[in-house]
Amino acid sequence: MSKSIQAIDMNVYYGSFRAVEGVNIDIDARSVTAFIGPSGCGKTTFLRSINRMHEVLPYARVEGQLLLDGDDIYGPGVDPVTVRTLIGMVFQKPNPFPTMSIRENVLAGYKLNGMRLSKSDADGIVEKSLTSANLWNEVKDRLDKPGSGLSGGQQQRLCIARTIAVKPDVILMDEPCSALDPISTLAVEDLIAELKEEYTVVIVTHNMQQAARVSEKTAFFNIAGTGKPGKLVEYAETSTIFNNPSEKSTEDYVSGRFG
């Protein structure tokens, strides 16, 4: 099921360094939102705070609230591992588990969560997830071969299938195409457009054409200078951000004047 995200005055720190300051944003369910902005403005940091992934670093912490359909994912008693099942993440570099087959990779989330599946349930999940990731036809005859034997673009779609398999509400993507060739990039972009029928998708991208192609809304983050926190400067329909932004810095960035 797809759910909305609401960040309320979110700050993200690495130790005493505030990397992201005062983010307020409402992201609709069943939508694709792009995060853009120059290097170091906190896009990845903020993205990782949406599923508590930053907590793998003991010195990283947040202030503020992050609501998933109204429920605070930082609320008392909320398990970060459960949060990461509800809010999945796809990384820059495709990272299938190298010793696992294609099939095992798709089912990895269930295994890691200690859930047992019948063979027929597992078969159904593998086929549905790979189909949703636009990969089924390419791999259906070699499900028991290693996931690492696929092309980069196929590996990234396998990682998306692995994320989808546990039925998340939200899929976060951190520059998911930056390690892919143009054809594979198009395949993943097509997939993103289809995913929004069922999921809330948030994608960090450096590629403005990509943001324009795949997203309905775009959030522009910026940074005043080295050592300063990143901030959300402007958030609007993607066409507005690219054609008629309210802020001068947004216009300068999208027209390639800096960053």
Which residues of the shown chain bind ligand ATP in the complex (CB under 6 A)? 14, 19, 37, 39-45, 57, 230
Nearer to ligand ATP, 57 or 193 (CB): 57
As beta bridge partners, residue 200 has 170
Residues 6 or more apart in contact with residue 54 via CB below 8 angstroms: 12, 45, 48, 60, 61, 62
The minimum distance between CB 4 and ligand ATP, in angstroms, equals 23
Nearer to ligand ATP, 169 or 174 (CB): 174
Residues 6 or more apart in contact with residue 72 via CB below 8 angstroms: 65, 66, 78
Nearer to ligand ATP, 120 or 226 (CB): 226
Nearer to ligand ATP, 109 or 230 (CB): 230
Exposure letters 41-55 (e unless 16+ CB within 10 A, then b): bbbbbbbbbbbbbbe
The minimum distance between CB 220 and ligand ATP, in angstroms, equals 11
The minimum distance between CB 178 and ligand ATP, in angstroms, equals 9
Nearer to ligand ATP, 39 or 137 (CB): 39
The minimum distance between CB 138 and ligand ATP, in angstroms, equals 30
In a 10 Å sphere around its CB, with 0-12 CB exposed, 13-18 middle and 19+ buried, how is residue 141 labelled?
A: exposed
The minimum distance between CB 51 and ligand ATP, in angstroms, equals 14
Query: How many other CB atoms sit within 10 Å of the CB of residue 56?
Result: 9
